[in-house]
Amino acid sequence: MSAKKVQQPDARAVRMPAAERRELILAAATAVFAERGYVGATTDQVAKAANISQPYVVRMFGTKEKLFLEALDRAMGKLMGSFRSVIADYDGGRLAEKVAALDPAKGDSREIQLKQLMSLAYADLVQDRGILLMLMQSFISGHEPVIGARAREGFVDIYRLVRDEAGLGEEMTRDFLAHGMLMNTLISLRLTDLYGQDSSVTELLECTMGVKLPLLLAHDAPP
Amino acid sequence: MSAKKVQQPDARAVRMPAAERRELILAAATAVFAERGYVGATTDQVAKAANISQPYVVRMFGTKEKLFLEALDRAMGKLMGSFRSVIADYDGGRLAEKVAALDPAKGDSREIQLKQLMSLAYADLVQDRGILLMLMQSFISGHEPVIGARAREGFVDIYRLVRDEAGLGEEMTRDFLAHGMLMNTLISLRLTDLYGQDSSVTELLECTMGVKLPLLLAHDAPP
DNA sequence: GTCTATAAGATGATAGAC
DNA sequence: GTCTATCATCTTATAGAC
């Protein structure tokens, strides 16, 4: 027998600058909260996903609630950042190629084109399940005193962005948000995983997602 | 001082037939699950809401999971029942009065009228927050092995109802579901509670809910 | 039909070592 | 910067009395 004690390779995580570790934990937390929700997720699951110890998670963020809030801010930031760059790129004329590829049957006003481009950006963002599910989880946390308040603020921010910065009119804003919510639902229900396996599900997805479907079927791949 | 020991009025619940008690517990469970979600809700909260002891809740339904499933079936049943009676009443010509009150600008095909009537029925159902939030909670439980599967079935059932029984076409089905999801989100976020208090929220609600708004502002009143 | 007592297992957070 | 040990709660579920 070897005199050396057998050690698990990841028993102690590699040292790492705090900022980097933070982002790593936030990414792990996003995935866990996305699946299990605020109440359902445990700090231990987050720790395991980030390959560190549970007390360290708490040490770094103070409380589970603060961790959730930071993960939520991060998700909101990515979503709004994505929309803002679409708007900026469109208005800066840097999306001519993508605009040309849009369905011309849907008209060609700025409003309509921007709505289509933002839908595509949204579908693209959704490929990281975590971000969108994180938002979804916040949307159903209205009863939580702190998280609920932040979630409402976030939703209003998104509305203002779509309405004022993108400049979509009333009807288009409503439709844009509504279809986004439907997409979120299909993804969090995991119906998208059953595409092609069940005829009703397949029909449902093709009916509700339309052209965005192919974009949704790529799954998260491990790094 | 009185010699009589002070007793809490509801320390021991009144005896009651099992079936009646079941429905009472299910109604309580619906409210609790609606607010806190499957993982977040505790059997003790349900017990307190139903004014009975926690072990009795478990005794009656076996497990928390089974309780959730029964509450979910009940909610699904009410939703589908509500839609089915709209369809039956419409096709039986018993809704002439309501049809006359519809927005004529939106056309007058069977499809369009039915969609409007079902939206109204939905908005009506929503006045019981519990039912809709219960469904919402199931929609984000896709990762739960048993509950997730049931939730997917339920969503597909709703789709088939709208598509086949109501006979709405592809586009109308998509819109109907999408706006339903948006409505759910606004309600579970509790944005509806802030109507009239914050100008952005008020604008957002009027933009997204349109004509259905007045129906949403009545809250559950205690019996 | 309904309760009290309680077992058995999580879970969030703290203390303090390395 | 990161861990181990551990506390105090909370939560589901069981046993058994009334």
**Among A38, A140, A174, beta carbon nearest to B137:** A140
CA-to-CA dists, residue A117 to A100, A111, B106, B174, angstroms: 11, 10, 28, 19
How far apart are the CA of B137 and the nearest CA of chain A, in angstroms? 8
**Among A179, A194, A200, beta carbon nearest to B160:** A200
Could you give the CA distance from residue A203 to residue A197 in angstroms, rounded to a whole number? 11
User: A35, B144 in Cβ contact below 8 A?
Assistant: no
Around Cβ B208, how many Cβ atoms within 10 Å? 23
**Ramachandran angles phi, psi of A221, nearest 5°:** -110, 140
Bigger pLDDT: B8 or A40? A40
Give Cβ neighbours of residue B73 (< 8 Å, ≥ 6 apart): B150
CA of B143 to C1' of D11 (A): 21
CA of B75 to C1' of C3 (A): 30
Query: From the centroid of its chain, how far is CA B88?
Result: 21
CA angle A195, A198, A199 (to 5 degrees): 100
Of all residues in chain B, what percent carry a pLDDT higher than 90? 81
SS3 content of chain A, % helix, strand, coil (to 5): 75, 0, 25
Confidence grade of residue A212 (pLDDT, cut at 50, 70, 90):
low
Around Cβ A153, how many Cβ atoms within 10 Å? 13
What pLDDT is stored for residue B216 in this prediction?
A: 65
Sketch the domain layout of chain A as residue ranges.
Answer: 68-216
Residues A91-146: tens digit of each pLDDT? 999 999 999 998 888 778 999 999 999 999 999 998 889 999 999 999 999 999 99
Residues B83-132: tens digit of each pLDDT? 999 999 999 999 999 999 988 887 789 999 999 999 999 999 988 899 99
What pLDDT is stored for residue B161 in this prediction?
A: 98
Q: Does A219 touch chain B (CB under 8 A)?
A: no
Token pair 């505790």: residue? B42
What pLDDT is stored for residue A179 in this prediction?
A: 95
The candidate with the shortest Cα–Cα distance to B132, out of A182, A140, A208, is A140
What pLDDT is stored for residue B10 in this prediction?
A: 52
**Among A39, A190, A200, beta carbon nearest to B39:** A39
What pLDDT is stored for residue B218 in this prediction?
A: 56
What pLDDT is stored for residue A12 in this prediction?
A: 74
Long-range contacts of A162-170 (CB under 8 A, 24+ apart): A162/A83, A162/A118, A163/B203, A163/B207, A165/A83, A165/A84, A165/A87, A166/A83, A166/A87, A166/A114, A166/A115, A166/A118, A167/A110, A167/A111, A167/A114, A168/A111, A168/A114, A168/A115, A169/A111, A170/B207
Give Cβ neighbours of residue A210 (< 8 Å, ≥ 6 apart): B174
Confidence grade of residue B209 (pLDDT, cut at 50, 70, 90):
confident
The nucleotide whose C1' lies nearest the CA of A56 is D2
Residue B41 has pLDDT above 60, yes or no: yes
Burial class (CB within 10 angstroms; exposed 0-12, middle 13-18, buried 19+) of B92: exposed
Q: Which nucleotides of C are covered by protein (CB under 7 A)?
A: 1-6, 10-16
Bigger pLDDT: A106 or B207? B207
What pLDDT is stored for residue A2 in this prediction?
A: 40
What pLDDT is stored for residue A214 in this prediction?
A: 66
Residues A15-59: tens digit of each pLDDT? 999 999 999 999 999 999 999 999 999 999 999 999 999 999 999
Residue A9 has pLDDT above 50, yes or no: no
Contact B152 A189 (CB under 8 A): yes
Query: Mean pLDDT over residues B2-6, rounded?
Result: 38
Q: Does A36 touch chain B (CB under 8 A)?
A: yes
Contact A159 B200 (CB under 8 A): yes
Q: What is chain A's length? A: 223
Q: Does B146 touch chain A (CB under 8 A)?
A: no
Give the tokens for residue B95.
Answer: 């809704």
Residues A75-106: tens digit of each pLDDT? 999 999 999 999 999 999 999 999 999 888 87
Minimum Cα–Cα distance from B154: chain A residue: A189
What pLDDT is stored for residue B104 in this prediction?
A: 83
Q: Does B155 touch chain A (CB under 8 A)?
A: yes
Could you give the CA distance from residue A223 to residue B69 in angstroms, rounded to a whole number? 37
How is B99-140 classified by DSSP, letter by letter? Answer: HHHS-GGG---HHHHHHHHHHHHHHHHTTSHHHHHHHHHHHT
What pLDDT is stored for residue B222 in this prediction?
A: 37
Give the tokens for residue A50.
Answer: 């980030």
The H or E element that residue B156 is part of is helix B145-160
What pLDDT is stored for residue B211 in this prediction?
A: 64
